[in-house]
């Protein structure tokens, strides 16, 4: 370890910044944020520095640096481009045992400034030990994206309750379980939407519950179309905290791999005419697992509320008063359209888009065909591949031009993606030439023409482990 990371309490402590330019300003700002009493010395100080010091009761000295200024200082920052002066500052500070940072000259530093993610009081510091500040900033940017912005309030709230929780739960394991419930449950969710008062009420409520009362929870989460990069941050968070995962066929292998390693995984199937667990069984299983106190993840392909029966799964939970949360996912229509270069709407070709199911309960009378054949509208059929001939002929019979372009997208967003195009008149024959497998999505409308121009993703050779399990 080249440097020991420490967090320094600088409140009301005198600190010296030498230099009057932009770099000095940035360092002085940082020190002011930490509550230090900042003195800045330089023959000339930029206006922002003067205002900053005025706001934070600092001191501006418009004169060259002199050694006496070091007296009583806790910390020194040299932000000048005068190399001789920097060296002198380094010597003077060392002689007095004052920590010094000379900007951009690691050899003259006794401490370095890390890149920081500030969720005060939660603070994350990243350093490459001076070897690559760019790399440290990149890591910081990644962490920024990963750490929800409300974690600062979370840390403060947890701090406020810390003593009470200690008194309430004697055993350290119980305390840990309690804090996990806070971090993963309704307290966090309230904070994430800015409801601080609600979050505090939840905290008090959780604290009053006995350990047995602490029932589980269900997360109904959209896993997207297959590409794990299309998951939401929230989906990922819930995937990593769930004790048990119920998933079906449309959840890709690579997405499933991101669930917590030790979580129990239950396959509940669902292919056309072959359900590993019938729908009522899934509904009941969610209830049973939650009542055992588990955090249950119900992971569904695409978006849970688009042809996903997500609503039905929640009804029983609501009835039994089991807490649940729902996380949207990128639905197949959005993903297939983007990955095939087919804008679902376009000023010139389509002013609206309809998502419909091609799986018809009572044959074709389920769909309002006259409404589907309107001009300037894109139609997306989910679950329609096996009946594409029927769907195409119904659209033609109800007045849609046989020349209307059609695209079928197999396993959109995954390496197995394939696109076959044709028209309502030809698509069935095209598919006989180039057969596709489910899951596939059908897009009908003039916008399909744009695929020729805008296609950008070709899929890739299969590696023997399909990302989405394709059906025969």
- Residues binding ligand SAH (CB under 6 A): 225-226, 250, 300-303, 306-308, 331-332, 336, 382-383, 409, 411-413, 438-441, 468
DSSP 114: P
Report DSSP letters for 320-333, one per residue: TT--EEEE----HH
Tell me the two tokens of residue 101.
């940072």
Closer CB to ligand SAH, 56 or 387, in the complex: 387
| Whole-angstrom distance, CA of residue 208 vs CA of residue 354 | 49
R_g of the chain, CA atoms, integer Å: 30
Contacts for 95 with CB less than 8 Å, ≥ 6 apart: none
Peptide bond into 439 cis (omega under 30): yes
CB-based burial, 411-437: b 16+ in 10 Å, e otherwise: bbbbbbbbbbbbbbebbbebbeeeebb
Shortest separation between residue 306's beta carbon and ligand SAH, angstroms: 4
Closer CB to ligand SAH, 127 or 440, in the complex: 440
| Whole-angstrom distance, CA of residue 204 vs CA of residue 263 | 29
| Whole-angstrom distance, CA of residue 108 vs CA of residue 255 | 48
Phi and psi of 350, rounded to 5°? Answer: -150, 125
Q: Which of 27, 227, 270, 354 is catalytic?
A: 270
| Whole-angstrom distance, CA of residue 361 vs CA of residue 70 | 83
| Burial (CB count within 10 angstroms: exposed 0-12, middle 13-18, buried 19+), residue 453 | exposed
Q: Determine whether 248 is an active site residue.
A: yes
Q: On the CB side of 288, how many CA atoms lie within 13 Å of its CA?
A: 7
Contacts for 407 with CB less than 8 Å, ≥ 6 apart: 340, 342, 419, 420, 421, 442, 443, 448, 451
Q: Determine whether 400 is an active site residue.
A: no
Shortest separation between residue 211's beta carbon and ligand SAH, angstroms: 37
Q: Indicate which residues carry an active-site annotation.
A: 248, 270
């Amino acid at each position: 370890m080249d440097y020991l990371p420490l967090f320094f309490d600088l409140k009301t402590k005198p600190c010296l910044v030498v230099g009057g330019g932009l770099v000095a300003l940035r360092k002085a700002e940082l020190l002011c944020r930490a509550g230090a009493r900042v003195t800045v010395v330089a023959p000339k100080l930029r206006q922002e520095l003067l205002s900053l010091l005025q706001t934070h009761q600092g001191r501006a000295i418009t004169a060259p640096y002199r050694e006496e200024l070091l007296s009583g200082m806790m910390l020194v920052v040299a932000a000048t481009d005068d190399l001789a002066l920097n060296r002198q500052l380094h010597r003077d500070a060392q002689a007095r045992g004052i920590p010094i940072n000379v900007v951009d000259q690691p050899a003259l530093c006794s401490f370095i400034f890390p890149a920081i993610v500030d969720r005060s009081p939660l603070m994350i510091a990243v350093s490459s030990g001076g070897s690559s500040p760019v790399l440290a900033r990149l890591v910081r940017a990644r962490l920024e994206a990963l750490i929800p912005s409300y974690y600062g309030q979370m840390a403060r709230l947890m701090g406020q309750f810390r003593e009470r929780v200690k008194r309430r739960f004697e055993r350290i394991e119980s305390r840990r379980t309690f804090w996990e419930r806070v971090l993963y449950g309704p307290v966090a969710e309230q904070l994430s939407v800015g409801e601080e008062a609600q979050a505090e009420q939840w905290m008090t409520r959780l604290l009053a519950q006995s350990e047995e009362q602490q029932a589980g929870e269900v997360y109904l989460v959209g896993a997207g179309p297959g590409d794990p990069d299309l998951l939401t941050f929230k989906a990922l968070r819930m995937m990593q905290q769930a004790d048990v995962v119920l998933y079906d066929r449309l959840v890709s292998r690579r997405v499933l791999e991101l669930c917590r390693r030790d979580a129990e995984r239950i396959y509940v199937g669902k292919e056309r005419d072959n359900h590993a667990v019938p729908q009522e069984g899934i509904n009941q299983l969610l209830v049973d697992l939650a009542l055992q106190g588990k955090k249950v993840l119900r992971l569904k392909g695409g978006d849970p509320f688009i042809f996903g029966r997500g609503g039905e799964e929640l009804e029983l939970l609501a009835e039994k008063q089991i807490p649940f949360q729902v996380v949207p996912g990128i639905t197949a229509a959005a993903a297939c359209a983007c990955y095939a270069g087919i804008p679902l709407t376009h000023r010139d070709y389509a002013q609206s888009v309809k998502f419909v199911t091609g799986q018809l309960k009572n044959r074709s009378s389920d769909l309002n065909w006259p409404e589907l054949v309107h001009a300037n509208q894109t139609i997306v059929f989910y679950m329609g591949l096996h009946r594409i001939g029927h769907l195409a002929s119904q659209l033609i019979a109800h007045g849609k031009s046989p020349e209307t372009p059609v695209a079928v997208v197999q396993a959109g967003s995954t390496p197995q993606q394939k696109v076959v195009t044709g028209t309502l008149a030809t698509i069935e024959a095209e598919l006989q030439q180039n057969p596709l497998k489910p899951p596939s999505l059908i897009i009908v409308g003039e916008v399909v023409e744009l695929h020729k121009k805008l296609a950008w993703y070709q899929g890739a050779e299969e590696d023997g482990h399909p990302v989405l399990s394709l059906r025969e």
